[in-house]
Amino acid sequence: MIQIAILGLGTVGTGVAKVVAENMRQIERKLGEPLEVKTILVRRFKDGPYRQLMTSDFQKIESDPSIRVVVETIGGVEAAYEYTRRALEAGKHVVTANKQLVAEHGCELLDLAKRKNVSYLFEASVGGGIPVLHPLTQCMAANRIDEIYGILNGTTNYILTRMVRTDAFFSDALREAQAKGYAEADPTADVEGIDAGRKICILADLAFGQQIDPAAVPMEGISKLSLRDVKVAQRAGYRVRLLGRAVRLPGGGRTAYVAPHLIPEDNPMANVEDVFNAVMVRGNATGEVMFYGRGAGELPTASACVADVMECLQSSPRRDEIGWSPSMEGFVDPLELKARHYFRIEGSLTDAATAFGQVEVLSEDGETAFLTESLTGRDAARQSRFLNVLACMRVLS
Ligand code: HSE
């Protein structure tokens, strides 16, 4: 019998306990032994099927030699960081879905895990149930990764889809996403692009082998996005999606950011709807590879956590190839990236042409929506400084 502990019993923690119980036979067949949740760390005891397993004392888990893997589903940094460190120090493998902790402290925790000869795995931290980190670090290991972009937040994609399809209000769509267990405890992290930002940092850390500090990454969410722009874009053959994007620059620099984009409707990313996420990875040997699936929710996220638990137990003694250097050297402001830009201005086509020269008009009715030629974000900001800009987004090419 292999025993594990779960820290936290929210959406993901509950999902982990369910997957371990419901898929008991498949898991046992693959591990060669039954897997059991022995202890669950909670702040407050609740009645229910897991009542007998609960403790509020982490020391019980830390000092229990029969617990080989700790699944951290607390979220946030403070307590999660402390318990993760202590579990690794105690020689236990740790598995997590906690993107904030991995984005901010992953480098250090991976290092500690290596020193202790255990694994720290976090497949569920990006893309929920989509296998993306393992393929990126293993199946694509022979590539130089040049670019990653993706719809990395299920809550905002769900909100956008509901608003466009059914004219739902932003607040109603957000409430639905919360009720379905997609949103963070504080949904500001979803709506303002912070959650997607943490995920693109993790992807970029692994892909480029160097830390990208989330604090250095510009993150813009969907709270300022107007349905008007979404509809103008749609009529012109584009979909608006919140993307996290990380790019390796010629000359060795790298950059990352999160922002809403116009995506041409023939790009598969344009048709990713509801809670689904998609991640496109461009390797210099593979070309573009796309990963698609449910990006949030109890069971998809738990599925990735339990698979990591199984991997910790199977890989003898640990998976060594993941990790990155703590250096931020070479990080460049994404304003240096070139793209066509979408603008909606209070003004005429003449105003647009005066600022940008040749533009492609998308709508004109007192306000003017148009696309520029390809230019850097810095030039887009400089050339539009005398315009009354109502909206501006990059176009994905
Ligand atoms: N709040 C996150 C999302 C959960 O909506 O994508 C999964 O990381």
| Among 75, 20, 70, CA closest to 50 | 20
**End-to-end CA, the chain:** 52
Query: What are the tokens at 134?
Result: 């393992």
Q: What SS3 state is found at 272?
A: coil
* Ligand 1 binding pocket mutation candidate from 155, 178, 243 (most atoms within 8 A of CB): 155
* Ligand 1 binding pocket mutation candidate from 123, 188, 190 (most atoms within 8 A of CB): 190
Q: What is the pLDDT of residues 243-254, one digit of tens each?
A: 999 999 988 899
Query: 155: CA distance to ligand 1 center in Å?
Result: 6
CA dihedral 351, 357, 360, 363 (to 10 degrees): 0
CA dihedral 43, 44, 50, 55 (to 10 degrees): 50
pLDDT at position 46: 86
Query: 195: CA distance to ligand 1 center in Å?
Result: 7
Query: What are the tokens at 267?
Result: 């790009």
Quote the Cα angle for 285-291-295, to 5°: 150
Candidates 18, 92, 199, 338; catalytic one: 199
Q: Of all protein residues, whose CA lies closest to atom 4 belonging to ligand 1? A: 296
pLDDT confidence band for 236 (50 / 70 / 90): very high
Query: 189: CA distance to ligand 1 center in Å?
Result: 9
Q: What is the pLDDT of residues 69-126, one digit of tens each?
A: 999 999 999 999 999 999 999 999 999 999 999 999 999 999 999 999 999 999 999 9
Bridge-based pairing of strands 375-376 and 276-283 is unpaired
Give me the count of residues in the chain. 397
Quick check: 304 and 175 in contact, CB under 8 A?
no
Atom of ligand 1 nearest to the CA of 196: 6
Rounded average pLDDT over 375-387: 98
Instruction: Say if residue 317's pLDDT is above 60.
Output: no
Rounded average pLDDT over 182-199: 96
Give percent of the chain with pLDDT exceeding 90: 94
Q: Could you tell me the maximum CA-CA distance found in the chain, to the nearest angstrom?
A: 74
- Rounded to 10 deg, the angle between the 78-89 and 99-116 helix axes is 20
Rounded average pLDDT over 25-52: 95
The phi, psi pair for 16, rounded to 5°, reads -65, -45
Q: Is 199 a catalytic residue?
A: yes
Instruction: Say if residue 146's pLDDT is above 60.
Output: yes
Rounded average pLDDT over 319-348: 91
pLDDT at position 322: 81
Residue-averaged pLDDT of the chain: 95
pLDDT at position 321: 66
Cross-strand partners of 45: none
pLDDT confidence band for 137 (50 / 70 / 90): very high
pTM: 0.96
Atom of ligand 1 nearest to the CA of 184: 1
